[in-house]
Amino acid sequence: MEEDDKAKRIAELNDRMRLYIGTRDTDSLGTVVMTRAITTLDYSDQLIILSRVKEFKNFTDGDDPYQEHDFGAFSFKGTKYYWKIDYYSPDLQGASEAPEDPDRTYRILTIMEASEY
């Protein structure tokens, strides 16, 4: 598979993971985790932040140089938030060698307050 095709496939999988947060489709691709700063917010604010991650489309060359849609940043109520998708081998013992292949990759989507980075 050519590099452009790999990046496009990775972006499709990452977008699918974000879009279906909390469904079986996301579960099949990996896990979503939120840091302490997110989990201590009011539940309604957590839902808004999850919605922002799901709907994120503001990818820039600086934040997404490989067009994989694996990172995003946004502000909510005056606070900056990040989300990041990392690729692991299915046994979680190291990095995935083929993030374009969902059978060989387990994704972890982390949502955090920027100050926690």
Residue with tokens 């190291």: 94
Count Cβ atoms below 10 Å from residue 111 Cβ, excluding itself: 23
3-state class (DSSP) for residue 58: coil
Residue type at 28 in one-letter notation: S
pLDDT (tens digit per residue) in 53-100: 999 999 999 999 999 999 999 999 999 999 999 999 999 999 999 999
3-state class (DSSP) for residue 114: helix
pLDDT (tens digit per residue) in 7-58: 999 999 999 999 988 777 666 899 999 999 999 999 999 999 999 999 999 9
Would you say 52 and 20 are in contact if contact means Cβ atoms under 8 Å apart?
Answer: no
Q: Where are the domains of the chain?
A: 3-116
